[in-house]
Amino acid sequence: MGPNMGTTVKKIACAPNGWKLNSASHILQVNLQAITK
């Protein structure tokens, strides 16, 4: 448990959240494109 442990945990915790945001925004864009057609 060194001083870098905290940043490693933060990176692991942030990665899935960023992926969820990206996929959610992608889904929104697809839905908006479908509605405007």
For the chain, the structural domain boundaries read 5-36
Burial of 36 (0-12, 13-18, 19+ CB in 10 A): exposed
User: What's the confidence (pLDDT) of residue 34?
Assistant: 86
Is the pTM value of this prediction over 0.75? Answer: no
Nearest to 28 by CA among 20, 17, 14: 20
* pLDDT tens column, 1-37: 566 667 766 666 666 766 777 788 888 888 888 888 7
User: What's the confidence (pLDDT) of residue 9?
Assistant: 66
Q: Sign of dihedral through CA atoms 26, 27, 29, 34?
A: positive
13 token code pair = 């915790």
User: What's the confidence (pLDDT) of residue 29?
Assistant: 87
In angstroms, the CA 16 to CA 26 distance is 15
21 token code pair = 């945001």
